[in-house]
Amino acid sequence: MVGLRSSVRPAREDYTSDRLSHQLSDVEYVESFEHPRIAEALQGARYVRISREPEIWVYIGRNEDHVLVPRLYCSCLDFLVNVVGRRRGSPCYHLVGLELARRSGRTRDLSKKLGEKAPTIVLEVLTRGFSGALRRLVARGQS
Ligand SMILES: [Zn+2]
């Protein structure tokens, strides 16, 4: 009954979000993080802030988008399965990329423009895998 025992273990003992927050606040950790897709993640301002309070970002990927809360959460499958589920000791590359993108200013801020529409964008990403509305807005901003 390993599963049952681990599920009743006190949450503070190895609480994933504490470790994540610590790692992602560590500049050295973030800058030395290696992942085959990290360079791609930093190309073309894929990180869009859609809300300031609470702070919510969307990563616009090649095929799908992800909702991110800095140093805490990403809606990708790797985060769900490996970081939360298997308690892997390292975050997904989207969360690391967000830290790097913020440090280098390679981000977009649509939080003011979106205003009350931010929850709709989040819902769209979580239910459909991407936000058509956000992608249209970003494309318009580029032209
Ligand atoms: Zn992720």
For residue 6, being part of any structural domain is answered with no
Which range of residues forms the domain containing residue 113? 15-142
How many domains does one find in the chain? 1
For residue 9, being part of any structural domain is answered with no
pLDDT tens digits, one per residue of 61-76: 999 999 999 999 999 9
For residue 10, being part of any structural domain is answered with no
For residue 63, being part of any structural domain is answered with yes
For residue 8, being part of any structural domain is answered with no
For residue 54, being part of any structural domain is answered with yes
Best CA proximity match to 33, nearest among 105, 100, 80 = 100
Examine the pLDDT at 18 and tell me if it is beyond 80: yes
Output the CA 93–ligand 1 centroid distance in Å: 6
For residue 92, being part of any structural domain is answered with yes
Instruction: Report pTM.
Output: 0.87
Output the CA 18–ligand 1 centroid distance in Å: 17
Mean pLDDT of the chain: 89
Examine the pLDDT at 45 and tell me if it is beyond 80: yes
Please, which residues have CB within 8 angstroms of residue 60's CB and are 6 or more apart in sequence? 46, 47, 48, 130, 134, 135, 138
Output the CA 72–ligand 1 centroid distance in Å: 10
For residue 4, being part of any structural domain is answered with no
Q: Answer for the pair 94, 107: CB distance below 8 angstroms, yes or no.
A: no
Q: Answer for the pair 65, 13: CB distance below 8 angstroms, yes or no.
A: no
